[in-house]
């Protein structure tokens, strides 16, 4: 590929004067989603839930004058010091007059404030805050979203079925290539919400076959908050987040993908479920009660999960949520699952202590295909976990941790500390020790892998502000695995480090340079030796990105990223893209577009890049192989409370005759996707 023809605009920005900030997703969130997708790899994480949280805050910004500590924690952007600093500022000086006071508070600066501006507001104390219980059902806002889309090229799974293929259970998709999505939600401030979400993936039957009632997936809930001692009551689908994630944690949680100081999990307790992930939620009822410094949460859930099962047992839990072939449809909701438990916490002035307990049982025996690497993983119909967690802030030190045990006696522990040494320098430390026999199906502890087991590690992170416009962030993580794991048939270890320097001279220009390297052991692929040998895998990514505003409403973004991979051989990759985002000044419409070229011949040199999408939808595709990708995303306000979106995207692969694989393969070297959405508020 000849990249010389690609016109790169990195240094064309200049220094335009600041304009009023728009309520758009900040670059920090884009980076977070990209990093999270890369860190997740093949592990399942619910990025949609994280994205939905921020989209909700865009529409209903958090009032800094009324926000509690728990409210500020849900922003995910602030650490303990910043939260306590804001609360103390409010206590000493009274209510804020404007969000632009934020940079004046200890622990904040223009960059952090800029990340928060889209999600926060300031409402004068005298402006209200008084409402009746009936207001929850009367003055809220309704929203209805409908979306559809498909791949425009014909894919192998939708080709006419031949007589021979009819005998094969997975030779053809059961439904049409159109994916459909519907979401209704009612919300009154943060006091009341209810809604229903329905989704059909491409290829899944719609109003026929096993989906004779319409969509393949339905989710619904009703949530009441702040009604006397009842802090939260949820009936329907929900998620739970307690402690440091060693016992009960649903949805996305920040790890090494987040800010270097965000190693402490900001628990949200119980929250209504609005995402479309078909596995990472509970279904039933949950309640949180609070009396003075005591808080008690209890939950119960019963639903069926996808699995490879027979009449008495199952061997594998299926997590894709896809039911588009006869084989995947047979695994749909094959095993009943019951989960119950709770959390009790007490808050002292500077310290919080919590106890979490959870018990779950499958309706069939769990009988794994046991291998040496998964010998210590759960292999029975039931399990139980219990843990004790704490966190406290005293002056310039924040301490946190959790210790947990599973039914078989396996243990896991994590402990960390944050140090606010100076207004311009902060440190974070974390140590985790997860036993090889610790079993927790609903845990998401900080770590290198998606399993909170068989891992020890030390993490240190630092943030330095040598100048108001410059932020330098760095972290290093050293980890080891005492037992075998998937694709590594021996005890192993590794390390990872990350360094980023960001420069923001004003609100119109923002740039950063990042280097990240990971070194760890893996099996030598294709080995036929009796004892599988290991080799060291070395992966390095370097990225430069600049975002700049040229005119009012016109913002551009450029990125160049390179990757180097070395194991038994060498490989490299390159990604270049240019973004244009434009909001018409006098017309209620905006659009965004991207053109990218990439060369990532090895799967380990793939790139992840956030793409602008529709309301309550996002894309972080993997750029892999050699080719080019473009997309156009357009939004227009059709009427006062009616918005429409259209999106067209295409990936073209050079030196190829097909695109995709398996049943998704096309007979052309490109894949083009179309999406359309309408949103109605009333």
Q: What pLDDT score does 127 carry? A: 52
Q: 359-363 contacts: CB < 8 A, separation 24 or more?
A: 359/383, 359/384, 359/385, 360/384, 360/441, 360/442, 361/337, 362/314, 362/335, 362/336, 362/337, 363/335, 363/336, 363/337, 363/338
What CA–CA distances, in Å, run from 68 to 63, 74, 392, 470? 10, 10, 16, 30
Q: Is residue 548 predicted with pLDDT exceeding 90?
A: yes
Taking the C-alpha atoms of residue 335 and residue 122, their distance in angstroms, rounded to an integer, is 48
Structure tokens at 75: 């922003």
Closest CA to 246 of 455, 518, 486: 455
H helices of 452-513, in order, are none
What CA–CA distances, in Å, run from 593 to 138, 319, 590, 630, 633? 40, 32, 11, 7, 6
Q: What is the mean pLDDT of residues 632-648?
A: 95
Q: What pLDDT score does 600 carry? A: 94
Taking the C-alpha atoms of residue 569 and residue 619, their distance in angstroms, rounded to an integer, is 31
Query: What pTM was estimated for this model as a whole?
Result: 0.88
Q: How confident is the model at residue 462 (pLDDT cuts 50, 70, 90)?
A: very high
Structure tokens at 141: 């806002």
Taking the C-alpha atoms of residue 394 and residue 124, their distance in angstroms, rounded to an integer, is 30
Percentage of residues in the chain with pLDDT exceeding 70?
A: 90
Q: What pLDDT score does 110 carry? A: 76
Per-residue pLDDT reduced to its tens digit, 140-151: 899 999 999 999
Q: What are the backbone angles phi and psi of residue 158, rounded to the nearest 5°? A: -110, 5
Q: What is the mean pLDDT of residues 380-391?
A: 96
């Amino acid at each position: 590929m000849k990249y010389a023809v690609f016109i790169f605009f990195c240094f064309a920005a200049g220094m335009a004067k600041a304009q009023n900030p728009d309520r758009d997703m900040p670059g920090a969130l884009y980076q977070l989603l990209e990093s999270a997708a890369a860190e997740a790899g093949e592990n399942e994480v619910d990025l949609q839930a994280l994205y939905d949280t921020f989209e909700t805050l865009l529409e209903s910004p958090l009032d800094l004058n009324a926000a509690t500590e728990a409210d500020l924690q849900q922003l995910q952007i602030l650490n303990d010091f910043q939260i306590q600093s804001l609360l103390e500022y409010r206590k000493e000086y009274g209510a804020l007059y404007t969000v632009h006071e934020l940079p004046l508070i200890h622990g904040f600066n223009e960059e952090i404030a800029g990340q928060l501006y889209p999600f926060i507001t300031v409402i004068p104390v005298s402006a209200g805050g008084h409402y009746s219980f009936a207001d929850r059902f009367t003055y809220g806002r309704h929203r209805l979203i409908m979306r559809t889309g498909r791949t425009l090229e014909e894919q192998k799974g939708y080709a006419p079925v031949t007589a021979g293929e009819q005998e094969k259970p997975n030779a053809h998709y059961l439904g049409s290539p159109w994916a459909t999505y519907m979401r209704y939600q009612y919300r009154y401030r943060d006091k009341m919400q209810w809604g229903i979400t329905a989704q059909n993936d491409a290829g899944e039957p719609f109003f026929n076959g096993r989906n004779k009632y319409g969509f393949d997936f339905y989710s619904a809930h009703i949530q009441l908050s702040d009604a006397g001692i009842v802090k939260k009551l949820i009936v329907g689908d929900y998620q739970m987040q307690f402690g440091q994630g060693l016992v009960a944690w649903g949805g996305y949680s920040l790890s090494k993908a987040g800010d270097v100081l965000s190693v402490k999990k900001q628990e949200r307790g119980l929250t209504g479920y609005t995402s479309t992930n078909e596995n990472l939620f509970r279904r039933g009822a949950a309640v949180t009660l609070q009396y003075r410094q005591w808080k008690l949460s209890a939950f119960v859930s019963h639903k069926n999960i996808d699995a490879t099962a027979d009449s008495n047992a199952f061997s594998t839990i299926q997590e894709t949520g896809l039911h588009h072939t006869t084989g995947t449809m047979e695994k749909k909701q094959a095993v009943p699952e019951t989960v119950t438990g709770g959390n009790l916490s007490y808050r002292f002035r500077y310290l919080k202590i919590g106890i979490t307990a959870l018990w779950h049982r499958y309706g069939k025996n769990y009988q794994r295909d046991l291998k040496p690497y998964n010998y210590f993983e759960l292999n029975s119909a039931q399990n139980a976990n219990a843990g004790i967690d704490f966190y406290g802030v005293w002056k310039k030190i924040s301490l946190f941790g959790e210790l947990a045990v599973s039914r078989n006696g396996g243990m896991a522990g994590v402990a960390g500390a944050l140090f606010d040494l100076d207004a311009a320098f902060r440190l974070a430390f974390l140590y985790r020790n997860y036993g090889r026999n610790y079993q927790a199906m609903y845990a998401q502890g900080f770590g290198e892998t998606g399993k909170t087991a068989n891992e020890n590690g030390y993490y240190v992170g630092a943030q330095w502000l040598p100048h108001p416009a410059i932020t330098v962030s760095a972290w290093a993580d050293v980890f080891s695995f005492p037992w075998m794991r998937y694709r590594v048939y021996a005890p192993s270890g590794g390390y990872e480090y990350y360094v980023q320097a960001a420069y923001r001279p004003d609100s119109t220009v923002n740039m950063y340079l990042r280097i990240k390297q990971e070194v760890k052991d893996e099996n030598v692929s294709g080995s036929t030796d009796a004892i599988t040998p290991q080799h060291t895998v070395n992966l390095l990514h370097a990225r430069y990105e600049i975002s700049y505003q040229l005119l009012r409403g016109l913002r551009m973004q450029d990125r160049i990223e390179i990757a180097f991979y070395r194991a038994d051989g060498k490989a490299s990759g390159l990604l270049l893209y240019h973004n244009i985002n434009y909001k018409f000044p006098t017309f209620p419409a905006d659009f965004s577009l991207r053109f990218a070229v990439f060369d990532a011949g090895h799967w380990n040199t793939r790139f992840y890049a956030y793409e602008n999408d529709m309301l309550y939808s996002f894309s972080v595709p993997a750029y892999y192989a050699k080719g080019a990708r473009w997309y156009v995303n357009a939004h227009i306000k059709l009427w006062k409370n009616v918005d429409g979106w259209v999106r067209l995207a295409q990936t073209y692969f050079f030196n190829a005759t097909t695109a995709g694989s398996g049943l998704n393969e096309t007979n052309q070297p490109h894949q083009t996707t179309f999406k359309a959405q309408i949103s109605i508020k009333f």
